[in-house]
Structure 1
Amino acid sequence: MAPLSGDGVLWLCLGISLFFAVRGIATDIRQVVDLTEIKRDEREDKIISEGTEEALKLDTLLKLSESTSHDLRAAALRIISERSTKGETRDILLADLSSKNKTRRGKAINALHFLVSNRALSRTSVCTRLRDLPTYTALVNCLCNFLDEHVEITSNTLSPILPRTRPLGEKKAIQILNSLLPENIPCALEAGVVSQWLTRYPFPCVTNADPSRRRDLFMLMKTWWADDAVMSSIFSTLTSHPDGIRQLRKHGLMGSMIEEENDQDDDDGDSDVWMVDGEDTAGTSGTFGSFRSAPRPQESSLEEQALRRRRREAMVLSEGGRPLGRDDIIQRPIQEG
């Protein structure tokens, strides 16, 4: 084998030197990266984040809530809502809610309505802090305080379930109850939502008609639900729980199971509704006590059946502004033979 020349030895040494140089440089670069990397401790970040949120003042949070950034607004609202539902702030909120001072009560209702109805707070722990007995007790006391304010007429709607004297602030309070009631029905019943509030509520079908019609209230809620959808929803939620049904029947706001089945059978039948003193009340605003169901008279002939069918198919056309008369009633002509 021929010995290597001087140039060959030089190139061999140069290649070996470059190999070790490249490895050394790569090792040094990795060490530099490791030394300059910033390592974060998640536990420390959580402590710093919580401390920063608690340190923010309400004025700062108010400005953040008005920011054009959606994330900043959501974060500010979340911090404000969490502060208002824990500790001393929560106690003050519930105390104002059950207060007889209309100004304090109104502010508390607006705040609580915002907390339970805002979609941005639905995924937070805010609502979970409002499902206990003190919250339901304060809300029931608030609704009971509104009972004495059913004095002035605030609505022109004639309904057997919606009182015309409902105060303006009561609707929001009922909406709050409707939002919180499904979360803890036994706790709401213990707070007196049925025994203290619903039993004293001035439903028109109870005050204007026979007091014995209190047992028909649940059936009227199902029939006239569009007049007061929120109150009907509360009754529906209560009847979804055995304790709710038990209390409604105990306090006479719901009939027995046998009576409900009979009422349902009567509704399914082709029964007629007669209006007492109809000629005197036509064209005027009457009460629901004037409408009473009467049994159908015995149909003894085909002529009477045809006459009744003709009356059921009649139409009433009127331009308004005057009482209804016989000229406004259009009936199908009598077919002879």
Structure 2
Amino acid sequence: MATTHLRALGLLGRLIRDDRVLFGYLAINAVGWLLGVRVLLRKWRDEAEIKPAQPKTQYITQETEDALRLNTLDTLLGHYNQSIRETSAKIICDRAVNDRDTVDLLLWGITRKDYDERMRNLRALAIITDPQSLERLHRWKAYAALVRCLELSLEPEQEVLDDEDWDEYTLRDMTEKLCLMFISQLLSSYDAEKLVKAKFVEKWLAKQNWGATEEDRQHNFAQYMRCRGNRITDIVASIRGTHSGRVALERAGLLPLSSPSDSDPEDNIPLIERFSVIIPSGINTGNLRDDEQVGEQWNEQLRLLVRSRQEQREREADDDQRVRHRHREAMVLNDGSRPLNSDDIIQRPESPR
């Protein structure tokens, strides 16, 4: 045992005295130290780094918006941050459109004769409204103000609207286009009854230069509706969809008067004479017409008789249809190896009714 230990010590001594082994050990030791120091330095750097705190998402509640004063909002409108400016403008627009007095003041402003004043109020009204708040304008006062603004925007000298290949809508005045924009948006969600009540047809549409004679006006108006595709045609289409709107168009001379529908001649014939073919021949229908009370009783009985005859005809039609379906049912016995003939078709036997 001692001899084995001595031999191992001798071998280890010879390895230690070998320069190659010594240099290899030192190289491995140096590389290990370098890697260890690098790991420690990286860990120390990560721990010593001061990271900026992530901003927390904050939402403006309704209470916060209501607490903001006008002077504060005025200051925020001039902020260098665009998001803050947009949020401030949105808060101001929401406050304005939800304030009935502010909306009424703007509606009053668009009815003034001064063009610049009308334009300022129209633009302010366009800024504060959106599809969600457009219902604030769905009232007769707003429709009347828009129609009045259109009436004030009429040009004394207009070209005749008789050209089917050219649409003049893009060249119209901005006040007209803004008013028509509001009306078109309102009619996309509501009916045209309030617009007709505000006399849109009489005060503006009929005053367009459709022509000199009644025939020219009706022809040019029909041609305009057929060939154009703008907000005016959309509005007129909504107006024509209502009874009062069509009556207004007819009174303005833009549509021909609708002829009364021809009534059925049988409507003026008493029920006793109309269904005399199903009354027994022994009954004198003349006496029934003379007595109103008896005539009314017979009218009621005749209605019941006609209804029973109709139900009977419907049952007979259903029975005939079932018979036709049964006659069409058949079985074809042919595997395709020979031409088809009548012997290969087996029809369903008709069952007794």
TM-score (norm 2): 0.47
In our comparison, the structure showing a higher alpha carbon Rg is 2
TM-score (norm 1): 0.49
